[in-house]
Structures are given as structure tokens and as C-alpha cells.
Chain A
């Protein structure tokens, strides 16, 4: 089943959405507009048997516009078929989450947010996943530097003078031996 066949099967299922086929050497590739994404995914799962979302990622095509493409790899085990969905996204725009269709989209969408800064609308838990929570920037963007210098976060051990240490012990001993 090539991309035109999948589009022909999708058109009656998801009216009002225009698809675009792309030629790739490995599997059928279909461009989906952002507005019809969730409906398309639902139709692909329920009517065409693509029950597994094997992979979800994004690619940064700087300086092209729209800049990003979010890429979904779907698998139909029963029909032994794969399809790749692509959604073009401009920087700053969001993509609806497909967690309602495939629960496995949760973490990969967090990873795309973390690495590319593409927000997923309706995602219940859109936090960074691989980078620390306070990290600035999105590392896999093409305008993010490859090597950066960042001061190491270290925690200085509590500095206690000898007098304070002894006083502490004395006070502790006093309360233990002579309860007031």
C-alpha cells in the first residue's frame, strides 16, 4: 500500500483534510496538516489497522520554513505495513497530542518538546524528560551550539568551625544526660 493508496483510503474517512504524498525509499510517507492530525491518526488506527505507534520524533530543517517536521512511524502488525506521517510545524506553533490514540506517544512527545521546543497541545504532562528541568534551550535545534561551557552545579558541604562543632556536641550531651 503506497502513499496514494493510503490517502485514497483516508479521504472518505477524514473529510475536509488534504494530504500530500512524498516519495521515500523505505515506506509510504504522508504529509498531514496540523488541523486534521488527531482525526487522521484515529482513522489510521481504527479503520486501517495501524495499532502501534513505533516512533515519534521531529526534524529541524533550519533555515527552511516551516522549520520543523514532526514524524510519526506507524505499524500495522496484521497487515504487515508501515506508514510515516509528517506534520510541518513553524517555530513556536504547537501540535495536538496523539496520546488519546496511542498512549505510547506520551514520553516521545515530551522528548520532542525537550529537544526541539515543539509544544504538544493537550499533553497532560509536558515536562522536560532527558534534560534537567531548569535547562535553557532545546539541544537538538540546529541553532543550538554543539559545545557549550556551563558551570558545574556543586553543593558546598556545610562549613562548621571547630568551636561551633564542640559547642554543638556539648549542648547535645547536656540535653541527653540532664533532661530539663
Chain B
């Protein structure tokens, strides 16, 4: 028998992105392939850099809120919440309990909305297209609630420094109750479609495994670390707002693979529904919606039209802004992608000296190349989807 001639093999370099439907925006990967196995992946970011941090240095403190919401555009209100908390820390403002409960409610609804986009796109990339349609159907209800509250669907800028933009609108409780009643059965439906779906399970289990040590080393505190066995959650470890008085669990899974991240995020949505129900019971339809501090919070509109002092105050806040004592603060919150936090530096004037967002997606992107290396090329999509990166958050 003739000896088989030795096959000449060489690696192939494939460019994936920045224009690629499965890279969640403009992520670019340069993959070196040996057959179907990824030898190395070079992750390139920066295509969506808009210089928000530089822009924010030119704005007044209250004008930064809409800017930071545009960083992580799927989890907008975690950004503005951590920004508001950091500024309030420097101002040493007392925030009324009702405002804190509303913020908890808004933050949890935002988490559900963000996870729904993650679930829909992740499942679609793995072939379950109908899940995407269902998830976006439910997210639409949450966007409607945003529209009801603030007149804006994606970036409501409802959370302001010192409290909220205005009081809750009429019909808010009904809208949220309708969503909370309807959502858990829908979540069961998604689980029916995915949790035991053989295609989904075989494409996600034992794929993209991240050990707990790696997750912490890469700074992936959040759902990714919790899917690797961590129990760290900012809401429990460094409580903010009124979270200590809420009854909820922190979901965790030991396996560290793509499937574990799916399980953790699904459970997080269920816990968020629990928190929302408790918050909704506490929040009265009307009441205080901001701190009682005339330096920071603009007076109500009816007083602006009838009282001279209120008119002056209104004019001062909107023309000069307010000053924040010199210093620095970093108050993190548990966002949908992990620890969101805004590090602010004030020089005592009405404009921030420096704003720095802690970007969970940036660190997740950094870890991608080491997670992908050695896996099959088909798993690349599953890993990117499960890290839930938002390029607006990466590039800022």
C-alpha cells in the first residue's frame, strides 16, 4: 500500500466584524484558525468611541445625565443611577425613601429590559429566532413604561442628581402591575423553548468555560462571575438605595460555561420581578420625588410661575448649574452586566473635572480572546453572546 503523503496544513486568518450581525455592534475579531479550531483571537475595539468622557467635562453636572445614559445603551439607567449616586455622595444629599424605592424599581425594570435584549439576540445567534421576537415583544412593554414615565423610550434621563425628574405619572402602577403579572409566564415560555432544547444545550454546555479565578482576575464581577460560582453582588455586598430592606436572592451557578450564564441571567430576571413587586407596593402614587435641597433640585413648575424666589432658583440652576464640593467619589451599582460605577472628580465648580465610567463590557471584551482561544469557531458566537457586551459601553 502506498504511503499517504503528509498533508500540508496552514493556519487561516479570518476577519470577523466590525460589520457582522453577531458581534453586537462593532466588535472586530481577527481569528487565526487551524481547521475549525481557533488558535488565537485578536479583539479590536474603538469603532464606537464618541468621547463621552471628554464631552462630559465641558457640561454642567446635571447635563451629564443624558450623556452617561448613552454609554451602555441597553442598561441606560444603571449608568445614570451610579452617576447620580456618586454626585450625591459628594453633595452629601439625603434622598427621600420614596425616591430610593422608585429608583430600585426603575433599576430592576431596566435590568429585565437589558436581559431581554441579551436573551433574544443570544438565542437568535444560536438559531432560536422565535425567542428573539418574543423577547423584544416583552421589552416593548418596558419601553412603553419608560415612555410613560419620562417621554423617552431608551434614554429616559428620569434619574437625576438629587432625585427624579418629576413625580410618577398617572397610570404608572397599572402599567407596571400589568407587566409584572404578564411577564413570569412569558419567562416560563422562553425557558420551555431553550432550557431543555437539545440544540441550545449542546451548543452552550461546556462551551466558553471561565473559572472563578479567571473571572475575578479579568475583573468580570457580575453575571459572568456569578455563573462561575461567585456570589458577589453589589446590591448585597455594598448596599445602596433601599436594597437591604428587599427580600431577594443572588442567583449563582457553578459551571462557568455559556449555559450557566444563561441560567444565572434567567434567574436574575425572576428575582428582579420579585424586587419590583415589593417596590411597587411601597411606592405611593404621589409624594416626594426629589431631595429637599433648593441648591440642586429645581423648584416645581407651579411655584416658578407664582413665587419670585422659586423663579430665581429655577433660573440659577438652569443657567449656572450647581457646584459640587471638591473631591472624588465612586459609587458602584449592580447593573445588568455587572458592576457599573462612575468615578467622578470635582474641583468644586459647576462642571465635573473628570468622569470615568467603569465599563463591564470593556473588561468582558478583554477577556474574550483568552476564552475563545482553543475553542471551535462555531462557539465564538456563543461566547460573545454570553458575555453580553454592549459596544457603547466598551468604547464610550
Interface residues, chain A, CB within 8 Å of chain B? Answer: 24-27, 29, 51-55, 57, 59-60, 71, 73, 75, 77, 80, 82, 84, 102-104, 106-108, 111, 115, 128-132, 139-140, 144, 146
Contacts and interface: CB of A to CB of B under 8 A. Distances in A.
B332 A54 contact: yes
B237 A77 contact: yes
B317 to A, nearest CB: 23
A9 B96 CA distance: 38
A54 B339 contact: yes
A146 B327 contact: no
B185 interface: no
A55 B396 CA distance: 15
Contacts, number: 92
Given A24-B328, A26-B330, A54 B238 contact: no
B329 A24 contact: yes
A132 B216 CA distance: 30
30 contacts: A25-B89, A25-B90, A26-B328, A29-B328, A54-B219, A54-B221, A54-B339, A54-B341, A57-B343, A57-B356, A73-B330, A77-B216, A77-B221, A77-B237, A103-B217, A104-B217, A104-B366, A106-B366, A107-B363, A111-B362, A115-B53, A129-B46, A130-B46, A132-B46, A139-B51, A139-B54, A140-B53, A140-B54, A146-B54, A146-B55
B204 interface: no
B322 interface: no
Contacts of B339: 54
B11 interface: no
A120 to B, nearest CB: 15
B219 A102 contact: yes
Contacts of B108: none
Q: Which has the most chain A C-beta neighbours within 10 Å: B86, B216, B230, B329?
A: B216
Interface in B203-218: 216-218
A111 B46 CA distance: 10
B358 interface: yes
Main secondary structure on B side of the interface with A? mixed
Interface string B355-387: 010100011011100000000000000000000
Interface of B: 45-46, 49, 51, 53-55, 58, 86, 89-90, 92, 216-219, 221, 230, 232, 237-238, 327-332, 339, 341, 343, 345, 353-354, 356, 358, 362-363, 365-367, 395-396
B49 to A, nearest CB: 4
B354 A60 contact: yes
A170 B356 CA distance: 61
Nearest to A57: B356
Given A57-B343, A102-B217, A130-B49, 17 more contacts: A24-B327, A25-B90, A29-B328, A54-B332, A55-B356, A59-B354, A73-B330, A77-B216, A80-B238, A108-B362, A111-B362, A115-B53, A128-B46, A129-B46, A130-B395, A130-B396, A139-B51
A25 to B, nearest CB: 6
